[in-house]
Amino acid sequence: MPLLASWLWLLLVLIPLVFLERWIHRHLQGIWLLIFRHPDIALLVYSLLMLPGVIVHEGSHWLAATLLGVRTGRFSLIPERTPDGTLRLGYVETEKVDVLREALIGAAPLVVGAAAILFVGYSRLGVGPVGEALRRGDVLGMALGLQAMTRATDFWLWLYVVFTVSNSMLPSASDRRAWLPLAVALALLGGILVYAGFGSLLRNALLGPLDTALRALALAFTLTVGLDLCFAPIIWVIERGLMRLTRLKVEY
């Protein structure tokens, strides 16, 4: 049952995370477009703003590929629009490999990004007391914890790093391409092992580490959702103010 609770927690925060990340990316671009009134300049400024997160994302792909013995090609942090109209802030070219290594390389930004968020959150921003207060339902404790966080050394710098990394860690469609085939293969393998009588051994070996990994990922997602919920109203107010000031409107 703990594993089921971890899955539910992960799914509950993943849905708003995906929505918030897309909303923030679109409207941050909209703000720069309203300011500069030139798509290329707006794209350049936006990409510079998100650069720490892009470096972590693409660097994670490169590092995972290198550790797995996969040759890499071109590495770019220059933003560009793809033929389908979507925005790509960077990329790393890798050779075509087996499904397992491709899936691991694709998942690298998620793992590294979540680890970075948890490290900065707990060791630099001190979110631990806030999380404990949230778990107890202690509103006053949460407020005091948040107030204490703002007194952390280089608070705004670390907050900016977490914001860019957390909103750049979700894998793209190409990153997820090998996940389904791998999941099917692992499910079939698990079914064969259970049928062969190794169910208890498999359960004892995997449930603990899997539950720990899911909880860590869900916690990183929760921190990201909380941060995005703080920034989204600010972004909305700035964008609306610029629309009134410039008498222009950005269509999404």
- Secondary element (H or E) of residue 76: strand 72-76
How far is the C-alpha of 100 from the C-alpha of 117, rounded, in Å?
26
- Predicted TM-score (pTM) of the model is 0.86
What ranges do the domains of the chain cover?
2-246
Tell me how far apart the terminal alpha carbons of the chain are, to the nearest angstrom. 42
Which segments in the chain show pLDDT lower than 50?
Answer: none
Torsion, CA 141, CA 145, CA 147, CA 151, rounded to 10: 150
Instruction: Report pLDDT for 240.
Output: 94
- 20-77 confidence digits (pLDDT tens): 999 999 999 999 999 998 888 888 899 899 999 999 999 999 999 999 999 988 888 8
pLDDT for 86: 66
Residues 6+ apart with CB under 8 A from 113: 53, 56, 57, 60, 165, 166, 168, 169, 220
Nearest to 94 by CA among 111, 74, 76, 114: 74
pLDDT score at 85 = 59
Q: 3-class DSSP state for residue 128?
A: helix
